[in-house]
Structure 1
Amino acid sequence: MGFSQGLSGLSSASQALDVVGNNIANSQTVGFKSGSIAFADVFAGSQIGMGVQVSSVNQNFSDGVLGQGNSSLDMGISGNGFFRLVNDAGSVFYSRNGQFKSDENGFIVNNQGMYLTGYQATGTPPTIQAGAAIGPIQIPSGQMQARASDSGTMKGNLDSGTKIIDPAGNPFDPADSKSYSSVTQVDAYDSLGNKHTVNVYFVKTANNKWTTHSSDTTSPNLDADGKPVYQLMDIEFDPSGQLVTNPAKLNVQGASYNGGSELNFDLDMAGMTQQAADTAMDSPSTDGYPPGLMNGYVVGDSGEIIASYSNGQKQLLGQVVLSNFTNPGGLASEGNNCWSETPVSGQPVSGISGTGNLGTLYGNRLEASNVDLSKEMVNMIVYQRNYQSNSQTIKTQSELLQILSNMS
């Protein structure tokens, strides 16, 4: 039995050194999870036993350190969860390696060409639809379509000391600056992204009372005499300068321009005040915008992929999902920092970062290997001594046999 015991010890120590060597070799592999070996005795129905065997090689799924990424598609996970990947054949794999890039078709892939999966944003503007299916995420290459203005806001202060203008004696005329108190410009866009400049005129008609006039100066609606048509709204303030008109929404209209849709939206003035201070507006705005080309994209800490465009807008492209298992240690290692589901691991539960028992996904981060080099060096010394000791038992057993042979 001595030979078999020693040989089993040599085999087990050799496999332990293999595990240590693999850990050290992958100490710089992104998302690598270190392994550890477990031994068990071999029972032979006697008090002595037949030696040792390797019962399992377990993987340590503790977190590695999150460091700075190298590209806009690099991602790291803190806590539970795996990136969900599919290959061309549709097989599903799981990984902690967050090194991703886009392929020639705009799909997000890892270095082995597997597709990162999640929710694809759809619609105008793109959103994640309830009940959306999980699938490969694709980054569109086309330009962002224009959006027609359908609402706007105007906030600011009107000077309470402004001179009152009598509309009866001095009717409103945009060509006559004495017929209005102030004017403010607002940019708006039609369905093709054509820019329209809208003028909003303010006329103080009495204390705490004003009349507003709006007109699309780029493409105005015209009356029967060919003159621009203005939309009017009266607004009133209380003695403390707060707006009492409700709702305070000035309609804006304009004719079709270069084939685009007609302008027709309301400009909300609920934030206007009247104080004894200079008239000033806080950057009036509308929700429309022209078409734009993609400048780039980033992955947010919730896994949302957000693109920025030359028109100053941002748009949701998709959202990465994470998957977790009841027993991650039961996953089957497939190489290339990937694992696959097994009956021992249980079925995957997939969802958005930070929900349920899923960890947090961070953009522009990479998870380093969780190998502890100092620990591995100590293990290597221990297993080397173990190997030497087992070889010594074989040598001793051989010498005893030699002595017995000589006696005969």
Structure 2
Amino acid sequence: MAFQQGLSGLNVSSKALDVISNNIANASTVGFKGGQAQFADVYAASLGVGGGSQVGIGASLPVVQQQFSQGNVSNSNNPLDIAVNGSGFFRLQKNATDQTITYTRNGQFHLDDKGFIVNAQKNNLTGYPIENNVTNRAALIPVQLDTTGVVPRATGASPTNPGIVTQMNFDDRDLKSLTSGTPNNLAPWSANTSFPPNNLNTFNYSTSVTVYDQKGNDHALSMYFTRVGNSDGATPAKNLWNVHYVLDNKDITGQVQSATQAVTTGVPTLEFGGDGQIVTTGFVGGAGVTKTDTITASGGPENARLSYNSLASVASVTGPGGAPVYVAGTDYTFDPVTGVLDTGGIAVGTNLVVTYTTSPTAMATDYKFNIDVAGLDAYESPVGSGVYPFRGLFDVATQPTIPLDFDNSTLFGSGYDVNKLVQDGYPYGRLSGVSVSSDGILRGNYSNGQTKDIAQLVLVDFISPTGLASLGNNQWGETSASGQPLIGDPGTGNRGVLQSSAVEEANVDLTQELVNLITQQRNYQANAQSIKTQDQVLQTLVNLR
């Protein structure tokens, strides 16, 4: 009997040493979960035997229990290294055609040649795609980065259409009397008069911002602020300021529209109330009104319609093979029988091709441009003439409009200051990096400073994670013992949160494992000693005479 017990002890101790050795071997494996050998005693089946007289027949190892305790989190330099702080698992799909699903705690991912996020075994990380900030939760799919970049957006073309938002303080102190004709003349400029930004005597303050057109080209928009003056030398009204706009060194002369009332003067005006807060443009009495201006730049592409009134002289008219060429306005004789033109013996039925050769400047016209802006003086250029090539192209792109918001600007007794100056346009941007938020939002970072939500990563929890089947390569598979996968966003339930540029280390305590190793070594030696002792007892029995 003791031989069987000793052998079972040797067997389970050997398996326990295997488990401990495996834990030690994977102490540096990211996302590894250590195992624990769990022993059980063994009794022979018997009937009618009292409980106090039963002797066990050894030990067994019914299960090696995986320990899913949290491992330490260490930082890395790869933004696609993702650690889970919680009990959740990443959901992986074999590939686009093989939809075998596995689960892992190893968050070491990278991009493949098609932009998919994969692990070392080329399994795809799955999640919900995001388009235009809307998460499509119809189905979990492999996460793929769109490397085509972000298309440019013109200033003022965003869905909310903020355009340029600025908050300024204009100095209310030291108001001086200004006289027309002096070097300090601050008389307002009319809409069709070029504003001289290089003349420091024509404005009080200025600021500038870079704006973008539909193709992502940048333009410099400068704003010049001038106290409203009078030509008769009277003191200017201290709460009225004219605003002059210069785009790429070209004076903007288009119509300015207020959000509350159309401006009928040639230059947009900012008006401040007695409390120093901006009121509105064009009328007095409003309070707390947001003034949104729409600026149309005369320096943009022209919209022109040309009516050609002449055709340049034909340089030559030729026909093939010496056949006659018929020119309008000439009398010819037709055969009364055949109805075919008879030109004196020339073969009937000859097909002629008339080729008109013109100079590259064949289309000539007189033209003039009219700029008629509602509420402002109309501008009409002198009549001119020119010749355009027939193959020429005209730029008929839509002129840009830029909303301007001066809400919350003030007029206080302190120095001029620009507290806020932002615009919503940007040029084309290439993908320059990615990041993952704690709630699982995968974002693309682009060279133009923009970010874009790409996918919602998910975590999977199980009622009994110890029931998962170990598949190797730090992956587990679902079993009936684990229960159904519970899919959700990071930060919900017990799934935990994500940490980008970090990995979860193995949850193996090396010190404890070395102690366990010594313990199982002693157990093995003790079981071997029990077999040796039983052998000596039998030898004593054999030696009896």
Shift of 1:9: 1.2
The match for 1:250 among 265, 269, 293 is 293
1:188–1:198 CA contact under 8 A, matched in 2: yes
Per mean C-alpha deviation after superposition, the further-off stretch among 127-136 and 346-355 is: 127-136
- Residue by residue over 1:352-389, the C-alpha shift from the partner in whole angstroms, topping out at 9 and shown as x without a partner, is 22222221211111111111111111111111111112
Checking the alignment, whether the CA contact within 8 Å between 2:245 and 2:251 is kept in structure 1 is no
* Paired AA for residue 238 in structure 1: G
Q: Secondary structure at the match of 2:131?
A: coil
| C-alpha distance 40-98 of structure 1, shift in aligned 2 (>3 A) | same
Change (3 A) 1:294 1:25: same
CA distance in 1, matches of 2:172, 2:117: 58
**CA distance in structure 1 between the partners assigned to 2:100 and 2:454 by the alignment:** 24
The 8 Å contact of residues 180 and 204 in structure 1, kept in 2 or not, is answered as yes
- Within the candidate set 121, 127, 142, 1:112 is matched to 121
Question: Which of the residues 169, 172, 189 maps onto 1:157?
Answer: 169
TM superposition shift of 1:213: 4.6
Go from structure 1 to structure 2 and tell me whether the alpha carbon gap of 1:393 and 1:169 turns closer, same or farther (over 3 Å shift).
closer
Q: What is the alpha-carbon distance in structure 2 between the residues aligned to residue 170 and residue 387 of structure 1?
A: 101
Equivalent residue number for residue 224 of structure 1: none
Q: In the alignment, which residue of structure 1 is the partner of 2:506? A: 369
Give 5+ residue unaligned stretches, structure 2: 47-53, 157-162, 229-236, 257-266, 281-288, 303-394
1:207 corresponds to: 238
Q: 1:152 to 1:349 in 2, by over 3 A?
A: farther
CA distance in 2, matches of 1:259, 1:130: 38
Whichever structure has more strand as a proportion of its residues is: 1
Aligned match for 1:145, one of 141, 144, 151: 151
In structure 2, what is the Cα distance between the partners aligned to 1:250 and 1:280? Answer: 21
Aligned ranges 1:290-369 → 2 under 5 Å: 290-369=427-506
- Out of 274, 280, 283, the position equivalent to 2:417 is 280
Q: Deviations over 1:213-244 (max 9, x none)?
A: 546457888xxxxxx42425443222231123
Contact in 2 for aligned 1:103/1:109 (Cα 8 Å): yes
TM-score after normalising by structure 1: 0.88
Letter in 2 for 1:153: V
Cα 1:210–1:164 change in 2 (3 A) is farther
Gaps of 5+ in 1: 222-227
Change beyond 3 A, Cα 1:219–1:394: farther
- Separation in structure 1 between the aligned mates of residue 203 and residue 32 of structure 2, nearest angstrom: 71
Deviations 1:78-119 (A, max 9, x none): 122111111122111111112111111111111111111223
Contact 1:216–1:252 (8 Å) recurs in 2 = no
Aligned equivalent of 1:67, options 74, 96, 104: 74
Contact 1:215/1:230, CA 8 A, preserved across alignment: no
Distance 2:188 2:519 in 1: 100
> Would you say the 8 A contact 1:214–1:251 is kept in 2?
no
Paired amino acid for 1:50: I
State which of 55, 80, 84 in structure 1 corresponds to 2:87.
80
Cα distance change of structure 1 residues 405 and 311 upon mapping to structure 2, 3 Å threshold:
same
Helix, strand or coil at the partner of 1:154:
strand
Say whether the 8 Å CA contact 1:42–1:52 is kept in structure 2.
Answer: yes
Secondary structure at 2:536 match in 1? helix
Closer/same/farther in 2, CA of residues 153 and 142 from structure 1, 3 Å limit? same
Cα deviation for residue 184 of structure 1 reads: 3.4
Shifted more, 51-60 versus 16-25: the winner is 51-60
CA distance in 2 between counterparts of 1:398 and 1:63 reads 47
Tell me what 1:33 maps to. Answer: 33
Change (3 A) 1:198 1:385: same
Q: Does structure 2 retain, via aligned residues, the 8 Å contact 1:214–1:250?
A: no
For 1:390 and 1:366, locate their aligned partners in 2 and report how far apart those are by CA, in whole Å.
41
Change (3 A) 1:155 1:53: same
Query: CA RMSD, aligned part only?
Result: 2.7
For 2:134 and 2:471, the matched residues in 1 are separated by: 32
- Quick one: which amino acid aligns to residue 369 of structure 1? A
Question: Secondary structure of 2:135's partner?
Answer: coil
Change (3 A) 1:355 1:269: same
Q: Secondary structure at the match of 2:458?
A: strand
Shift in alpha-carbon separation, 1:240–1:344, aligned structure 2, 3 A: same
Query: Percent sequence identity over matched residues?
Result: 40
The answer for the alignment partner of 1:17 in structure 2 is: 17
How much does 1:70 deviate? 3.6
1:209 partner amino acid: L
Q: Is structure 2 residue 272 aligned with structure 1 residue 237?
A: yes
3-state SS of 1:106 partner: coil
1:95 to 66, 89, 104: 104
d(CA) in 1 for partners of 2:113, 2:187:
69
Residues 158 and 278, structure 1, Cα contact 8 Å, conserved in 2: yes
Once the 2 structures are TM-superposed, how far is the Cα of residue 20 of structure 1 from its aligned partner? 0.4
Go from structure 1 to structure 2 and tell me whether the alpha carbon gap of 1:377 and 1:301 turns closer, same or farther (over 3 Å shift). Answer: same
Bigger Rg, structure 1 or 2: 2
Aligned to 2:218: 195
